[in-house]
Structure 1
């Protein structure tokens, strides 16, 4: 067969999808409906393979479960070989995913394992044993409008109806995958029941969660390991695995089939409970991450917005962008003003940043009749400034200093590590104040002289006799 061939008079082959030991699968298009389907054809057809393909078609059509691949049609080629028309799947097999990614995350692997168990439970309910369950026969299908992947169990070609006496395997032959076959299936026991699929199911889950098979080797070495080697536990390969999951896998891989889980439905129930437990723990962890006790988020919103731009995080504080750009934001609170700076603790006119002392000024330049310019680096006196109060213990040392001598260092006064600043020399009084003092002193002297003169005149008049009255009073001016 090649691309472009017409199969069954209505399916046009488009491209080859894959090939197995039993047949080859093609993508084909229905000539009348233009529907894309998968067509499975037999390779090197024999009577035994023809019967297997027809059994697979009957089994898949009988189960009719969403986790089992759907069979649409069965037909014959021009060479009278049967073919199956199935649902066209998009995605990868579980085998390809594990080989590419290794051990799968528990949150993703648990739903996959659960859906495989559902497909097994549906098949066992119809009295069908798969007998070839392995990662290569599990497909992770992705539908266009579905966010999650859908598990599809494939290839019921080796399935066997429970209680059937039909033998499609030659006596002494071994058909299947020994790495996943149960010990009784390897031994060729004729009375297989659903518990043989439970063993395969456990081996598949072990590989899914651990990234490796429980039994290693090839050919006779692998068969010997399955039959006699110690059975590993999942917890020994994956430290920290959930104990409930370890118990589920261990309950499947038991050589005595009477000690295994009795049904796939029981395993599915346990996996569902474990899936819900992990989902709840993840939701609680996500809610705690968004709690106020977690990492606080500070968001800066753009001009024109009055609130945070996203609600995906719990916002503990918002700061308008105008705080950084200086532009007002409509509806946003005004930026906080900085508090006024505290008054300086150093003497006025001598900031601590001044390292060089001011130049000395002669006393005559500040006490003469004409005011002189203040020396460079020294402020001109303006008004009055309160003196800084000194501690009691430092007052004697301060008073002992002469006006020209520098006061104690800044460190000794305040205890702060600042450079010592010399104190400016004493400033003489202003010229105006000196003239006012002279005037007041002169007025005082004149007043004292006047008082003394009046007293002297009064004493002289009291020692002479009174004079006769004058005929006419002289003017006061005379």
Structure 2
């Protein structure tokens, strides 16, 4: 894809190959490495560990296929709600079946009773990782990724499933042999809502706020009844973030962030990225409307708008005259050395506006004294 601008994958929902990146794992997690589960899955290593459980790389016998085992921590295996949510994820993922949703192969239990899921092993980066690393991404990459994820979301919504935690961390850009372009995969349906199951499972209660704050729709932040349009709002936030390198709403604390989501207005896209096509402005504005009725009403509608925009931009690019090559002796003038990755952290300033991952030459200096990550459940 063309690199239009200076420019943030996964087993559900943990970072890939974390065990090999110097991240310390708990002794209980490491104790499973080398074991064979139910005579079929040989655990080769740890991919990552989170509060709910751990994800392992394993080999499926006798096929020799690499898979990912997502195992609930023994302490959580004693909690009925945690087990129900884990089983809920398995039912949801298996009910959808779409190339842009991480595939579920099998389910089972360890000897100590802890449940596990067997899922496809993905290799690559999350969209969150890429934005953090690169800032604003090339337009064509952004469009292709969101078009694919909206295809997966549409399949989920048609099955009555609302994800409720769509965010860059849960979008995995999987590399595949023989292809230079990644396949986007939607992960982590652990807090999703499935209309046919909720009445029996009681996984959420009225007034409970589920999701990651930056990507919450206003009705989600208020703890109201939700439908599939909260996922479309989150996709609008992701579109904004991937195009500009920063989130639309930023605040120094959680309560202030909710005020921004409920009543604030994000900066115009082209204020942050002047070269961006003005055609993106109405698309983002509609996706992020405060009222669900004013947004895109389906993932397929949002998907089709992005496909048309993609085609229009490609057509314009083909018609555009080629730019003359710069003289070899003329050095490029830039405020930052090119080719350097600048790590960015969430560090709110006095105006709460410092979660900035725009192209390097457009960024303000920011203090790296605080992490940008927000909790999955609040």
**TM-score normalized with structure 2 length:** 0.72
- The CA deviation string for residues 110-157 of structure 1, in whole angstroms up to 9 with x for no partner, is 111111111111111111100010000000001011221100000111
**In structure 2, C-alpha distance between the alignment counterparts of 1:7 and 1:227, rounded to whole Å:** 48
Q: Which residue pairs with 1:252 in the alignment?
A: 287
Q: Which residue pairs with 2:123 in the alignment?
A: 90
Where 2:117 maps in the other structure, the secondary structure is strand
User: Paired residue for 2:234, among 200, 212, 218?
Assistant: 200
**In structure 1, C-alpha distance between the alignment counterparts of 2:174 and 2:257, rounded to whole Å:** 31
User: Paired residue for 1:222, among 244, 247, 257?
Assistant: 257
Q: Which residue pairs with 2:82 in the alignment?
A: 49
Q: Which residue pairs with 1:175 in the alignment?
A: 210
**In structure 2, C-alpha distance between the alignment counterparts of 1:154 and 1:8, rounded to whole Å:** 25
8 Å CA contact 1:42–1:82 kept in 2: the answer is: yes
8 Å CA contact 1:5–1:12 kept in 2: the answer is: yes
Which aligned pairs between 1:408-427 and structure 2 lie closer than 5 A?
none
Q: Which residue pairs with 2:52 in the alignment?
A: 22
Alpha-carbon shift at residue 32 of structure 1 (Å): 2.2
**In structure 2, C-alpha distance between the alignment counterparts of 1:243 and 1:289, rounded to whole Å:** 21
Quick check: 122-131 or 49-58, which moved more?
Answer: 49-58
* Closer/same/farther in 2, CA of residues 32 and 169 from structure 1, 3 Å limit: same
Alpha-carbon shift at residue 241 of structure 1 (Å): 2.2
Q: Which residue pairs with 2:36 in the alignment?
A: 6
Query: In the alignment, is residue 284 of structure 1 matched against residue 314 of structure 2?
Result: no
Alpha-carbon shift at residue 282 of structure 1 (Å): 2.6
8 Å CA contact 1:71–1:84 kept in 2: the answer is: yes
8 Å CA contact 1:77–1:83 kept in 2: the answer is: yes
User: Paired residue for 1:39, among 60, 69, 78?
Assistant: 69
Alpha-carbon shift at residue 170 of structure 1 (Å): 5.5
- The CA deviation string for residues 42-73 of structure 1, in whole angstroms up to 9 with x for no partner, is 13312112111111111111111111111011
Where 1:212 maps in the other structure, the secondary structure is coil
8 Å CA contact 2:209–2:222 kept in 1: the answer is: no
Which aligned pairs between 1:231-380 and structure 2 lie closer than 5 A?
231-285=266-320, 288-289=321-322
Where 2:42 maps in the other structure, the secondary structure is strand
Where 1:36 maps in the other structure, the secondary structure is strand
Which aligned pairs between 1:392-431 and structure 2 lie closer than 5 A?
none
**In structure 1, C-alpha distance between the alignment counterparts of 2:277 and 2:99, rounded to whole Å:** 29
Unmatched tracts of structure 1, length 5 or more: 296-478
Where 2:136 maps in the other structure, the secondary structure is coil
* Closer/same/farther in 2, CA of residues 257 and 171 from structure 1, 3 Å limit: closer
8 Å CA contact 1:60–1:71 kept in 2: the answer is: yes
* Closer/same/farther in 2, CA of residues 270 and 160 from structure 1, 3 Å limit: same
- The CA deviation string for residues 332-389 of structure 1, in whole angstroms up to 9 with x for no partner, is xxxxxxxxxxxxxxxxxxxxxxxxxxxxxxxxxxxxxxxxxxxxxxxxxxxxxxxxxx
Q: Which residue pairs with 2:165 in the alignment?
A: 132
Unmatched tracts of structure 2, length 5 or more: 1-28, 326-378
**In structure 2, C-alpha distance between the alignment counterparts of 1:23 and 1:133, rounded to whole Å:** 20
Q: Which residue pairs with 2:245 in the alignment?
A: 211
8 Å CA contact 1:231–1:253 kept in 2: the answer is: no
Larger Rg: 1
Q: Which residue pairs with 2:340 in the alignment?
A: none
* Closer/same/farther in 2, CA of residues 83 and 108 from structure 1, 3 Å limit: same
Number of residue equivalences? 289
**In structure 2, C-alpha distance between the alignment counterparts of 1:40 and 1:162, rounded to whole Å:** 24
Alpha-carbon shift at residue 7 of structure 1 (Å): 2.7
**In structure 2, C-alpha distance between the alignment counterparts of 1:264 and 1:242, rounded to whole Å:** 22
**In structure 1, C-alpha distance between the alignment counterparts of 2:59 and 2:104, rounded to whole Å:** 15
**In structure 1, C-alpha distance between the alignment counterparts of 2:203 and 2:173, rounded to whole Å:** 29
* Closer/same/farther in 2, CA of residues 172 and 256 from structure 1, 3 Å limit: closer
Query: In the alignment, is residue 116 of structure 1 matched against residue 146 of structure 2?
Result: no
Question: Higher relative CO (CA 8 A, sep ≥ 6), structure 1 or 2?
Answer: 2
Where 2:213 maps in the other structure, the secondary structure is coil
**In structure 2, C-alpha distance between the alignment counterparts of 1:17 and 1:234, rounded to whole Å:** 36
Alpha-carbon shift at residue 172 of structure 1 (Å): 4.9
